């Protein structure tokens, strides 16, 4: 491409910045009428600050039986690994739309699950209610017929599977929750062998759930956990010898602990490919102030400390271990109906995705794909909740490389930028937490090497000719109700079609000489197809 054209486009770009820079800004309205605040997203195009997996988006499936209730409501219905309806067409289409979606199977009860083995005559049934134990259930068993059905379904759906193994087998749990003794790997090994014999593809075997640090119901010391993780890695290496793809080993699937985690990572050494941590930073689902927390930029930003600490630990560990968020539902004990399954939760969720990626988190697993009050899909109807579409847009638009982004003008706008996914250019995610003010956003990108027209022979270049475009995806709540279960994309509701198909997610094309307009309480993905920066090469 000729330098003349490139300068011309750069000129247009600078012109665009100049006119935005001089644009009038209304002061904040006291009358409640919509006002405009101006801000600038500063994007560094020089180097990426993080690299995610291509399939960064992950969602969980849990073990909770229908009898699992929190604060008097039972929100799990038939969404358990043991009883989820695998014939539902919306479920299939919802997973397929990601091609691939990572699915992490696990949760609180996983350390209570036995795997049926060939020739084992012991009855293999679901969980038994027992009010004497912390979460009210004991002794689940995964029948091999169900494991078969799950694997057949996930293969058909194109999902990539992370399976959470029981890490308490063989240990003795004391009255204070301290688990002692080594892991007994016999039952896990038979599941792994069965899985291999059947030809099922598992991308990762995860070790345990929330047994790290002080634990939730039980805890295991970091050095013991590391020794057992090495045993699991040895089992995987032994049984997958000669395979082209060996599953990864992940652990501990627990809450970040600044003492336990570094010791565990250090002592597992390179037997641990991925350190997984869980996030429920909004507190208990029963909290009536969840919406206030979700819309508070300082509250949202607080989680960056955990990401930052873990990133530093990994950098200093001398291992190749990387970090995933293995389970994040925001509000624990199954979320909160009308909050964690409605539009407002996308402010939390998309901010989490952007923040996690900016600290080099490779994968982020949302609790849950379905089940509880925080499913990407409605637990009763399987119809996608707003966060499903938020996840799908993030997956399709935000590529692997993360560009450092700062937003200046108001702290109510959160901004994240990635190189574009499966296309050229970059994508900027803007989240406006302000319910009164529209944000008019300038975009300032350092180190733009070329802004290339879509057709190199087209001349002259101008915004009008359509050579340079900007594609925008505006997400808002239906009827302006933040707690709606319907999200609008560019003003139109997103709904599955009559045959259960996931709708296409189409942008509006915008003249790039205009600033990006982010309505009050809205989220915008902005794809700049013609911006080239060194970090995205």
DSSP class of 524: E
Q: Which residue spans within 11-127 are E strands per DSSP?
A: 35-51, 57-61, 102-105, 113-115
Q: Which residue spans within 220-377 are E strands per DSSP?
A: 248-254, 274-279, 283-284, 322-328, 331-332, 363-366
The reply on whether position 194 binds ligand NAG by CB under 6 A is: no
96 burial via Cβ count (<10 Å: 0-12, 13-18, 19+): middle
The answer to whether 472 is a known catalytic residue is no
Minimum CB separation from ligand NAG for residue 235, in Å?
13
Dig out the tokens for 419 from the structure. Answer: 């190189």
With respect to ligand NAG, which residue has the nearer C-beta, 40 or 75? 40
With respect to ligand NAG, which residue has the nearer C-beta, 85 or 292? 292
Among 66, 143, 158, 170, binds ligand NAG (CB under 6 A): 170
3-state secondary structure of 218: coil
- CA 519-521-525 angle, to 5 degrees, is 65
Reference 530, options 440, 441, 466, 439; nearest CA is: 466
With respect to ligand NAG, which residue has the nearer C-beta, 319 or 408? 408
| CA-to-CA separations, 102 to 99, 352, 451, in angstroms, rounded | 9, 17, 34
Are the CB atoms for 279 and 359 separated by under 8 Å?
A: no
- CA 240-245-251 angle, to 5 degrees, is 75
Minimum CB separation from ligand NAG for residue 268, in Å?
21
With respect to ligand NAG, which residue has the nearer C-beta, 301 or 466? 301
With respect to ligand NAG, which residue has the nearer C-beta, 44 or 233? 44
The reply on whether position 184 binds ligand NAG by CB under 6 A is: yes
Instruction: List alpha helices for 303-374, DSSP H.
Output: 304-316, 345-358
Minimum CB separation from ligand NAG for residue 301, in Å?
17
Binding mask 58-77 toward ligand NAG (x if CB under 6 A, else -) reads --------------------
Dig out the tokens for 485 from the structure. Answer: 């279960």
With respect to ligand NAG, which residue has the nearer C-beta, 32 or 242? 32
DSSP class of 71: T
Minimum CB separation from ligand NAG for residue 234, in Å?
15
Are the CB atoms for 105 and 182 separated by under 8 Å?
A: no
With respect to ligand NAG, which residue has the nearer C-beta, 102 or 474? 474
Minimum CB separation from ligand NAG for residue 14, in Å?
16
The reply on whether position 378 binds ligand NAG by CB under 6 A is: no
Which residues within the stretch 486-525 sit at the binding site for ligand NAG (CB under 6 A)?
none
| CA-to-CA separations, 153 to 78, 156, 188, in angstroms, rounded | 16, 5, 22
Task: Say which of 189, 206, 210, 442 is annotated catalytic.
Answer: 210
DSSP class of 361: -
Minimum CB separation from ligand NAG for residue 441, in Å?
13
Minimum CB separation from ligand NAG for residue 188, in Å?
10
Minimum CB separation from ligand NAG for residue 271, in Å?
20
How big is the chain by its Cα radius of gyration, in Å? Answer: 24
Q: Residue with the closest Cβ to ligand NAG?
A: 435
Binding mask 119-148 toward ligand NAG (x if CB under 6 A, else -) reads ------------------------------
Are the CB atoms for 391 and 350 separated by under 8 Å?
A: no
Q: Find tokens 């990762």 and name the residue.
A: 204
With respect to ligand NAG, which residue has the nearer C-beta, 32 or 491? 32
Which residues within the stretch 7-46 sit at the binding site for ligand NAG (CB under 6 A)?
32, 42
Phi, psi (deg, nearest 5) at residue 5: -60, -40
Are the CB atoms for 212 and 169 separated by under 8 Å?
A: no
Number of chain positions touching ligand NAG (CB under 6 A): 8
The reply on whether position 408 binds ligand NAG by CB under 6 A is: yes
The answer to whether 206 is a known catalytic residue is no
Task: Say which of 189, 206, 327, 472 is annotated catalytic.
Answer: 327
Binding mask 253-282 toward ligand NAG (x if CB under 6 A, else -) reads ------------------------------
Are the CB atoms for 239 and 198 separated by under 8 Å?
A: no
Dig out the tokens for 272 from the structure. Answer: 């641990």
The reply on whether position 435 binds ligand NAG by CB under 6 A is: yes
Active-site residue set: 210, 327
Contacting residues toward ligand NAG, per CB under 6 A: 32, 42, 170, 184, 186, 408, 435-436
């Amino acid at each position: 491409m000729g330098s003349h054209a490139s300068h011309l486009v750069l000129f247009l770009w600078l012109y665009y910045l100049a006119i935005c820079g001089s644009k009038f800004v209304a002061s904040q309205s006291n009358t409640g009428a919509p006002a405009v605040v101006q801000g600038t997203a500063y994007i560094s195009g020089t180097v990426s600050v993080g690299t995610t997996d291509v399939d960064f988006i992950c969602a969980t499936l849990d073990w909770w039986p229908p009898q699992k209730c929190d604060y008097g409501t039972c929100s799990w219905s038939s969404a358990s690994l043991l009883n989820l309806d695998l014939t539902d067409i919306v479920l299939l289409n919802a997973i397929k739309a990601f091609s691939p979606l990572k699915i992490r199977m696990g949760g609180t009860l996983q350390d209570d699950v036995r795997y049926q083995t060939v020739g084992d005559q012991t009855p293999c049934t679901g969980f038994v209610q027992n009010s004497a134990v912390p979460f009210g259930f004991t002794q689940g068993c995964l029948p091999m017929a169900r494991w078969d059905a799950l694997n057949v379904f996930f293969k058909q759906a194109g999902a990539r599977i992370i399976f959470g193994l029981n890490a308490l087998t063989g240990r003795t749990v004391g009255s204070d929750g301290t688990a002692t003794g080594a892991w007994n790997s016999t039952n896990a090994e038979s599941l792994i062998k069965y899985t291999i014999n059947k030809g099922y593809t598992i991308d990762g075997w995860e070790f345990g759930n929330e047994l790290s640090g002080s634990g939730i119901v039980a805890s295991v010391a970091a050095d013991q956990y590391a020794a057992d993780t090495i045993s699991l890695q040895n089992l995987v290496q032994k049984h997958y010898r000669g395979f082209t793809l060996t599953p990864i080993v992940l652990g501990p699937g627990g809450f970040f602990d600044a003492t336990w985690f570094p010791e565990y990572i250090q002592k597992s050494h390179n037997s641990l490919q991925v350190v997984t941590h869980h996030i429920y930073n909004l507190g208990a689902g029963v909290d009536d102030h969840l919406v206030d927390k979700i819309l508070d930029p300082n509250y949202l930003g607080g989680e960056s400390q955990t990401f930052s600490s873990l990133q530093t630990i990994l950098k200093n560990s001398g291992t190749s271990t990387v970090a995933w968020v293995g389970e994040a539902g925001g509000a624990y004990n199954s979320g909160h109906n009308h909050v964690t399954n409605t539009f407002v939760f996308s402010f939390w969720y998309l901010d989490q995705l952007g923040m996690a990626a900016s600290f080099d988190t490779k994968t982020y697993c949302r609790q849950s794909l379905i089940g509880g009050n925080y499913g990407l899909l409605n637990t009763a109807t399987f119809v996608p909740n707003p966060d499903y579409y938020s996840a799908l847009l993030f997956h399709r638009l935000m590529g692997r490389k993360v560009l450092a982004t700062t937003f200046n003008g108001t702290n109510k706008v959160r901004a994240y930028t990635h190189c574009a996914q499966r296309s050229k250019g970059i994508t900027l995610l803007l989240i406006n937490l302000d319910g009164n003010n529209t944000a008019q956003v300038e975009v300032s990108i350092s180190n733009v090497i070329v802004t290339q027209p879509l057709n190199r022979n087209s001349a002259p270049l101008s915004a009008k000719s359509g050579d340079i475009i900007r594609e925008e995806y505006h997400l808002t709540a239906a009827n302006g109700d933040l707690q709606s279960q319907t999200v609008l994309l560019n003003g139109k509701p997103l709904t599955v079609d009559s045959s259960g198909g996931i709708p296409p997610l189409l942008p509006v094309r915008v003249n790039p000489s205009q600033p990006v307009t982010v309505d009050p309480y809205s989220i915008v993905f902005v794809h700049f197809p013609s911006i080239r920066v060194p970090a995205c090469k």
